[in-house]
Amino acid sequence: MKQKLTLTVEADAVHRLKSLATRRHTSVSALLEEWSARAAATPKKQRLGQRLRARWAGTTSEGDARLEFLLGKHT
């Protein structure tokens, strides 16, 4: 069952959405439905710091300034 939804967004975002919908020969509603379905189905990406820590599990970053910086920035 379809349900109405009211959104408040910037005017330029509305213009971009309507333009995109026109180019794809669809509606803004259909674009948002497609986006929400894709977003819900896509697994959350792991942050870089988490990937680095997993890759080098059991090692220490002490003494490696580059690794320390990356881990500090991305975790």
For the stretch 26-75, pLDDT in tens is 999 999 999 998 888 877 776 776 777 777 666 665 677 877 777 777 66
* The predicted structure's pLDDT at residue 73: 76
Domain boundaries, the chain: 11-41, 45-75
**Can you read off the two tokens belonging to residue 46?**
């792991």
Residue position matching structure tokens 């991305």:
74
User: How far is 4 from 29, CA to CA, in rounded Å?
Assistant: 10
User: How far is 22 from 34, CA to CA, in rounded Å?
Assistant: 15
Please count the residues of the chain: 75
What are the angstrom distances between the C-alpha of 66 and each of 1, 36, 48?
A: 54, 38, 14
The pTM of this model reads: 0.55
User: How far is 28 from 19, CA to CA, in rounded Å?
Assistant: 9
